[in-house]
Amino acid sequence: MLELSRRPRVKISCSHPLVSWWLMHTGGGDRHEYLPCDGCGDTEGTAIYCKICKFHAHFECIIQPDIINHPCHSKHPLKKVLAETIDYTDGKCHFCRSPLDDVMYHCSLCNISIDLRCWIYPPPLTIFKSKSHNHTFTLMARKDSFTCNACGMVGDRNPYVCLECDFMLHKDCVDLPRVININRHDHRISRTYHLGHGDWECGVCRKQIDWTNGAFSCKRCPNYAVHSKCATRNDVWEGEELEDEPEEEEIEDPYKVVNEKEIIHFSHEHNLRLGDDNAVDYERCHACVFPINSDTFFKCVQCKFFLHKVCATLPRKKRNILHNHKLDLQIQDMPGDIFECKYCLQFFDGFRYECKSSGLCNGYFSVDMCGSRN
């Protein structure tokens, strides 16, 4: 590589959108295509490339013009200045919010500064995401603060606006999914821009939700809602958009009722009868492995199998705040099998909740400590 001060430099020959490009481009098989920089002629490194004009040059080899017209700030031209000569800016690029380099483009009338990267790669003027909204969002380059209609948080600049609905969104909120599962709720929740009048509390952070802003809500539970930012946190959402996915089948109940005092539980081959005495205080519940004591319990009519009544009602599948995927209730496969809970690190030999998602999680949860806790 030539030293930066000795590099031949070149002007960008077009105003089309540009992308990054390796000068040594790999073709099919082992074939390599060497594309020299239009400035210095070197064939190494990353270049800025125009697919239409086939123009490619190192970023360092481009001659920056003294005045530019930026598509995101069409009111006035921006002049190339040294950052040290301007002392009234906040020191960050108006669009990407990165610290400004030594050289930048600046509009003194609007106090807008743009770094060289955002000159080369301007943010998109319009965004259309059919999965998130039916209309196109348009970038409004401005310095005024605004409240995002999707998440309810205040933004300091550059909203994407739906001119049809009069919505203002952060760029990140344009891509919000429509239908998701979270580990705080058993049903799917759907994004809405109009939560509706009411005293809403977020199901994740437990803080109040401004009903005039958007959020995620549950169609089955009319009082359940979650902040958009809370619902899409990595520790809450599994990352899958479910709008086009079929609803899950109804989960089978853990037991069937025989009569007022007897049930058939999926974990045992014999009928279980509601206990009517306290003579089994020393026996253990086969689910939570805690002593029966004085709690209401079921006992097998043929063998020594016991379940607390509350343990007999544990759902076959459930969600848990410690894990993003739905968990399956599993019974002891073989007598003497012992498992270690992934989160509390306790060993147990009772029922467990287990993640069956793609076989990647391999997490066990003991009923008495982690798996049944919301």
Structure confidence at residue 4 (pLDDT): 43
Same structural domain, 263 and 215? no
Structure confidence at residue 7 (pLDDT): 56
Structure confidence at residue 205 (pLDDT): 93
Is position 49 within any domain?
A: yes
Looking at 272, 290, 312, which one is the last position of a domain?
Answer: 312
What's the pLDDT tens digit per position in 184-229? Answer: 898 999 988 888 888 899 999 999 998 888 899 999 898 999 999 9
Same structural domain, 90 and 41? no
Q: Containing domain of residue 8, as a range?
A: 4-61
pLDDT at 280 over 70: no
Across the range 260-289, mean pLDDT stands at 84
Looking at 136, 153, 174, which one is the last position of a domain?
Answer: 174
Cβ atoms of 9 and 63 within 8 Å: the answer is yes
Mean pLDDT for the chain overall: 81
pLDDT at 233 over 90: yes
Is position 189 within any domain?
A: yes
Q: What are phi and psi of 73, to 5 degrees?
A: -140, 80
What's the pLDDT tens digit per position in 31-57? Answer: 556 678 888 888 777 788 888 888 888
Higher pLDDT, 6 or 102: 102
237 pLDDT tier (thresholds 50, 70, 90): very high
Q: Per-residue b/e over 270-290, b at no fewer than 16 CB within 10 Å? A: ebbbebeeeeeeebbbbbbbe
Question: Which ranges constitute the DSSP H helices of the chain?
Answer: 116-120, 171-174, 228-231, 309-312
Is position 244 within any domain?
A: no
Is position 162 within any domain?
A: yes
The number of domains in the chain is: 6
142 pLDDT tier (thresholds 50, 70, 90): confident
Q: Which of 4-8, 93-97, 171-175, 267-271 has the lowest mean pLDDT?
A: 4-8
Is position 211 within any domain?
A: yes
154 pLDDT tier (thresholds 50, 70, 90): confident
Q: What are phi and psi of 370, to 5 degrees?
A: -120, -45
Structure confidence at residue 231 (pLDDT): 94
Which amino acid would we find at residue 250?
Answer: E
Same structural domain, 303 and 336? no
Same structural domain, 168 and 183? no
pLDDT at 26 over 90: no
